[in-house]
């Protein structure tokens, strides 16, 4: 795509290398193949369209032309137990980039959704890949940039939105990709400099739509219901039950039931 030729990034941690395909099954799957071929940190896979886009728990992610479908390879120098926090880092970077384009009322829903006025505009899929005694993380992101609701299945339309629909104008893909990669880089630099995700967690809490909500979390066969009070140091959601017990949920599908007005 000519719009993405000769991209220049102002990054300090990452050295981005772009691999573009007009159509792929999944950018995450392409990124995995590139890892096995020796590609490392900073490799970007971007596609104009995905035929089998991946969501969480093996779900299908509709990927019509006009959206951003991107995966980036990260080789984190971090303990494996905190790698899930890279999903939160990516969520914050996407939310910041969307806001930088002029969108208001942006929030993040645990564990991996980006919302505009409560409607989903993007999502994150992080996967850990082991290769040659190394652990690499593939962070996939899908953002509804220049799509419209009519591009999606009728059953999805009530819960989705797009930046084009919200701003009533086309979003420059080149500028969005550049800003997003630089936003990821800035946050990685903070994490490595302090050997801590504290700044990422603080940012995520500020833009979270989940904290302060009464939620129902489906974690496999387990169902947890209560007040979402915080996220842990490893990115798990902390839910306070009616009996006052705090339950830690590492992964799951969250339904927001009711917002607590006293949450700060």
pTM given for the model = 0.91
Domain with CATH 2.30.30.100 in the chain: 213-259
Q: What is the DSSP letter of 160?
A: B
pLDDT category at 227 given cuts 50, 70, 90 is very high
Cα dihedral sign, 256-90-73-80: negative
Beta bridge pairs of residue 123: 113, 142
Q: What pLDDT, on a 0 to 100 scale, did the predictor assign at position 261?
A: 43
Phi, psi of 200 (to 5 degrees): -65, -45
Higher-confidence residue: 49 or 130?
49
Q: Could you tell me what percent of the chain has a pLDDT over 90?
A: 70
pLDDT category at 252 given cuts 50, 70, 90 is confident
Q: What pLDDT, on a 0 to 100 scale, did the predictor assign at position 257?
A: 86
Average model confidence (pLDDT) across the chain: 89
Q: What pLDDT, on a 0 to 100 scale, did the predictor assign at position 177?
A: 97
Rounded-to-integer distance, Cα 256 and Cα 195, Å: 33
First to last CA, the chain: 45
Sequence-separated contacts (24+) of 221-229 with Cβ below 8 Å: 222/252, 224/249, 224/252, 225/257, 227/260, 228/110, 228/254
Higher-confidence residue: 59 or 234?
234
pLDDT per position as a tens digit, 54-82: 655 556 557 788 999 999 999 988 888 88
pLDDT per position as a tens digit, 98-154: 999 999 999 999 999 999 999 999 999 999 998 777 789 999 999 999 999 888 888
197-204 average pLDDT score: 96
The topology under which CATH files domain 2-207 is BirA Bifunctional Protein; domain 2 (3.30.930)
Q: What pLDDT, on a 0 to 100 scale, did the predictor assign at position 264?
A: 36
Say whether pLDDT at 259 is over 70: no
Say whether pLDDT at 6 is over 50: yes
Rounded-to-integer distance, Cα 28 and Cα 71, Å: 6
Out of 68-82, 174-188, 208-222, 248-262, the most confident range is 174-188
Phi, psi of 46 (to 5 degrees): -125, 140
CATH architecture, domain 213-259: Roll (2.30)
Q: What pLDDT, on a 0 to 100 scale, did the predictor assign at position 262?
A: 43
Burial (CB count within 10 angstroms: exposed 0-12, middle 13-18, buried 19+), residue 44: buried
Domain with CATH 3.30.930.10 in the chain: 2-207
Could you count the other beta carbons within 10 Å of the beta carbon of residue 65?
13
Q: What pLDDT, on a 0 to 100 scale, did the predictor assign at position 55?
A: 56
Say whether pLDDT at 263 is over 50: no
């Amino acid at each position: 795509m000519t719009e993405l030729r000769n991209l220049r990034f102002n990054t300090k941690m990452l050295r981005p290398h772009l691999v573009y395909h007009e159509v792929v099954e999944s950018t995450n799957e392409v990124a995995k193949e590139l890892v096995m071929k020796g590609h490392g940190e900073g490799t970007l896979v971007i596609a104009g369209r995905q035929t089998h886009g991946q969501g969480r728990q093996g779900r299908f992610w509709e990927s019509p032309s006009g959206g951003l479908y991107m995966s980036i390879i990260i080789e984190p120098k971090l303990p494996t137990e905190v790698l899930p926090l890279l999903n939160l880092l990516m969520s914050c970077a996407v939310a910041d980039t969307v806001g930088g384009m002029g969108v208001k009322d942006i929030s993040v829903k645990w564990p991996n959704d980006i919302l505009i006025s409560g409607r989903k505009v993007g999502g994150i899929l992080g996967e850990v890949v082991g290769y040659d005694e190394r652990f690499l993380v593939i962070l996939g992101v899908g953002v509804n940039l220049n799509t419209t609701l009519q591009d999606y299945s009728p059953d999805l339309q009530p819960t989705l939105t797009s930046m084009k629909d919200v701003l009533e104008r086309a979003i420059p893909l080149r500028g969005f990709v550049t800003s997003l990669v630089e936003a990821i880089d800035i946050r990685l630099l903070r994490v490595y400099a302090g050997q801590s995700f504290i700044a990422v967690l603080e940012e995520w809490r500020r833009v979270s739509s989940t904290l302060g909500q009464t939620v129902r979390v489906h974690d496999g066969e387990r169902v947890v219901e209560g007040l979402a009070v915080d996220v842990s140091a490893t990115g798990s959601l902390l839910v306070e039950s009616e009996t006052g017990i705090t339950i830690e949920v590492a992964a799951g599908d969250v339904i927001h039931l009711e917002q607590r007005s006293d949450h700060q």
